[in-house]
Structure 1
């Protein structure tokens, strides 16, 4: 079966880890790199890669990972590389430089996601792309509502961004219209987990970040209002892409989240296996 024509969306999967700083989860799983840790019977990075490869909106794919990781030896990766659709590039010492290096010679728009976003789906990728294009975004940030995350699994996430119109979780996926819109990447030079380390907002945005932190802590303003303030700060149109599938917000960082993700994957596989039987009974 041939793939539908792509919209030309490039996807970058960030799979690297800091040199000289062993990853606790990778160590616990007995692998050198977190992206190669087994999740539901296959290497972590293969889960988002499969979703990306199956999405009709996606053209080319780039994976950024430490040189010598061995990712290229996996049959699924080798097959996509042989087709010319996938490029594997060596990650740099920090997140921002890894992104800039990986997208140096690709076409935009680019969707940036991470290897531990194992519950990403082709449908979610299309939702992000649709929301970004419909909103005329320079940058789109994928989010999921608290109620949808917990519906996917009651232990899906512990922390959420609070706004006046609800609580949301980050889905580790960012849509970038053009190379000139990469300025917000500086927010992630020291890491992007603002729920765990809110002082990073202040460091990235200065005094404006202090006010954003107060609004965040007390749930002042809606999500749309927050995005408009950030848009004004960066002189870019930043829009939220709120996904219908809350499972996308469940990333794998430790044993608890691994068990949660594997439970969701198992439920999906069971549902998919049951579908042909239901159709045959009709």
Structure 2
């Protein structure tokens, strides 16, 4: 199945400390096993069937590299939600969104996600439960969203199914700053849901459904059976971890 994909490879401005640590100009250009993170992501998307790939960039170096990879280059905004909004206006729906720091991305993760998105969903996000992640890579340190049905970590794969997904992007802009403080996101939905969250009675599905209703969209969470799908490269320890995984666990990735 052919699809259109967007890779977020911009920055929030200023020097990226992770890029500096790795000795490159931009995070997307960090290399693993002789290939940049961006090249690895683009290759996985192509193998999964992407017929059109665009990369959102904020530096000339990444733009030149993306062009060399044969993908479209779009100008990034200061934040990811606005970058997705700009790209969505240009690329249209449906649109798969991922990030350049998803260095372990595998085509089967993409294909499975696309096949598991509910038919009636306007937007969907891939998440992995803590037990699934730790079964595959117990040494990783991730940020978990704690709900009644488990502790979940995002997998940097999103699906915007139709034009109504633009409403979800607008909501995303409003909660972007609170992405690692889920109780503040839930608070936007009122005292009832906040109390359910604080008492540990709010499920991930109910939270997403309520967030979706607030934006007039049907939002769905898709559970990943692949724990490694939650591993991205955000800090120096992640660089070391991904290098170790690629070197010592090739069958798993």
The alignment's TM-score, normalised by the length of structure 1, stands at 0.79
CA positional deviation for 1:254: 0.9
Aligned to 1:11: 5
Provide the rounded CA distance (Å) in 2 between the counterparts of 1:124 and 1:193. Answer: 27
Aligned to 2:98: 113
| Paired residue total | 253
> What does 1:40-189 correspond to in 2, within 5 Å?
40-56=33-49, 58-73=50-65, 77-78=66-67, 80-81=69-70, 86-132=71-117, 134-189=118-173
1:38 pairs, out of 17, 28, 31, with 31
Aligned to 2:213: 232
Per-residue CA distance 1:153-186 (angstroms, 9 max, x = gap):
1122333111212111111221001233122223
> Which residues of structure 2 form unaligned runs of 5+?
none
CA positional deviation for 1:238: 0.6
The alignment's TM-score, normalised by the length of structure 2, stands at 0.88
Residue 23 of structure 1 contacts residue 34 of structure 1 at CA under 8 Å; is this kept in 2? yes
**RMSD, aligned CA:** 2.5
The answer to whether residue 194 in structure 2 is matched with residue 201 in structure 1 is no
The 1:209/1:14 distance shift into structure 2, 3 A limit, reads farther
CA positional deviation for 1:113: 0.8
> 223-232 vs 241-250, which deviates more?
223-232
CA positional deviation for 1:8: 3.7
Aligned to 2:19: 26
Provide the rounded CA distance (Å) in 2 between the counterparts of 1:61 and 1:258. Answer: 25
Residue 122 of structure 2 contacts residue 165 of structure 2 at CA under 8 Å; is this kept in 1? yes
> 216-225 vs 86-95, which deviates more?
216-225
The 1:217/1:186 distance shift into structure 2, 3 A limit, reads farther
Task: Look at both structures and tell me which one has the larger radius of gyration over its CA atoms.
Answer: 1
Runs of 4+ off more than 6 Å: none
Residue 11 of structure 1 contacts residue 52 of structure 1 at CA under 8 Å; is this kept in 2? yes
